[in-house]
Amino acid sequence: MIRKVTTHINQNEGTIFERSRPGREGYKLAALDVEAADLAAIIDSKYLRDDDLAGLPEVSEVDVVRHFTRISTWNYAVDLGMYPLGSCTMKYNPKLNEKVSRFDGFASAHPYTPDEISQGNLKLMKVLEEALSEITGLAAVSLQPAAGAQGEMTGLMVIRKCLETRGNARKIVLVPDSATGTNPASAAICGYQVKTIKSGANGGVDIENLRQIVNEDVAALMLTNPSTLGMFEENIEEVCRILHDAGGFVYMDGANMNALVGVTRPGDLGVDVIHLNLHKTFSTPHGGGGPGAGPIAVTSELEQFLPFPRILEVSDGKGGKLFRVEYNCPQSVGRVRAFFGNFSVLVRALCYIVSLGPDGLREATETAVLNANYIAHHLQSDYEVGFHGKPLHEVIFSDKRQQKFGVHTIDIAKRLIDYGFHPMTVYFPLIVPGAMMIEPTESEGREELDLFIDAMRSIAREAEETPDLVKSAPHNTRIGRLDEAAAARKPILRWKPASAAAGQS
Helix (H, G, I), strand (E, B), or coil: what is residue 305? helix
Q: How confident is the model at residue 469 (pLDDT cuts 50, 70, 90)?
A: very high
pLDDT value of residue 70: 84
pLDDT value of residue 7: 38
Residues linked to residue 197 through DSSP beta bridges, in sequence order: 176
Distance, in Å, from the CA atom of 226 to the CA atom of 231, rounded to the nearest integer, reads 5
Region 366-382: mean pLDDT is 97
**pLDDT tens profile 187-243:** 999 999 999 998 877 778 989 999 999 999 999 999 999 988 899 999 999 999 999
| Contact criterion met (CB below 8 Å) for 196 and 176 | yes
Most confident of 10-19, 58-67, 173-182, 324-333: 324-333
pLDDT value of residue 200: 78
* Residues contacting 136, CB < 8 A, separation 6+: 254, 265, 266, 267, 274, 276, 297
Q: How confident is the model at residue 480 (pLDDT cuts 50, 70, 90)?
A: confident
3-state SS of 162-185 is: HHHHHCCCCCEEEEECCCCCCHHH
- Residue 175 main-chain phi, psi, to 5 deg: -135, 120
Instruction: Tell me: pLDDT of 84 over 70.
Output: yes
Region 427-456: mean pLDDT is 94
- Determine if the peptide bond prior to 226 is cis (ω within 30°): yes
| Contact criterion met (CB below 8 Å) for 282 and 128 | no
pLDDT value of residue 54: 59
pLDDT value of residue 12: 61
Helix (H, G, I), strand (E, B), or coil: what is residue 337? coil
Distance, in Å, from the CA atom of 91 to the CA atom of 284, rounded to the nearest integer, reads 9
3-state SS of 102-161 is: CCHHHHCCCCCCCHHHCHHHHHHHHHHHHHHHHHHCCCEEECCCCCHHHHHHHHHHHHHH
Residue 303: CB atoms within 10 Å: 17
Distance, in Å, from the CA atom of 314 to the CA atom of 186, rounded to the nearest integer, reads 35
**pLDDT tens profile 18-28:** 888 888 888 88
Instruction: Report DSSP state, residue 199.
Output: B
pLDDT value of residue 288: 56
Domains and CATH numbers, the chain: 95-354 (3.40.640.10), 359-489 (3.90.1150.10)
| Contact criterion met (CB below 8 Å) for 353 and 286 | no
Instruction: Tell me: pLDDT of 146 over 70.
Output: yes
Angle, in degrees to the nearest 10, between helices 343-379 and 119-136: 30
Q: How confident is the model at residue 287 (pLDDT cuts 50, 70, 90)?
A: low
Region 118-136: mean pLDDT is 97
Distance, in Å, from the CA atom of 191 to the CA atom of 268, rounded to the nearest integer, reads 29
Which letter, b or e, does each residue of 137-164 get, where b requires 16 or more Cβ atoms within 10 Å of its Cβ? bbebbbbbbbbbbbbbbbbbbbbbbbbe
| Contact criterion met (CB below 8 Å) for 328 and 301 | no
Which letter, b or e, does each residue of 434-460 get, where b requires 16 or more Cβ atoms within 10 Å of its Cβ? bbbbbbbbbbbeeeebebbbebbebbb
| Contact criterion met (CB below 8 Å) for 406 and 391 | no
Helix (H) or strand (E) holding 437: strand 435-438
Angle, in degrees to the nearest 10, between helices 409-418 and 446-465: 120
Cα distance from N-terminal residue to C-terminal residue, the chain: 30
Percent of the chain at pLDDT > 90 equals: 65
Instruction: Report DSSP state, residue 387.
Output: S
Instruction: Tell me: pLDDT of 501 over 80.
Output: no
Region 291-298: mean pLDDT is 93
pLDDT value of residue 318: 86
Residue 176: CB atoms within 10 Å: 29
DSSP 449-503: HHHHHHHHHHHHHHHHH-HHHHHT---SSSS-S--HHHHHHS---S---HHHHTT
Instruction: Tell me: pLDDT of 8 over 50.
Output: no
Instruction: Tell me: pLDDT of 382 over 70.
Output: yes
Residues linked to residue 385 through DSSP beta bridges, in sequence order: 397
Residues linked to residue 253 through DSSP beta bridges, in sequence order: 224, 275
Instruction: Tell me: pLDDT of 500 over 60.
Output: no
Distance, in Å, from the CA atom of 150 to the CA atom of 337, rounded to the nearest integer, reads 9
Distance, in Å, from the CA atom of 144 to the CA atom of 378, rounded to the nearest integer, reads 42
Percent of the chain at pLDDT > 70 equals: 93
**pTM listed for this prediction:** 0.86
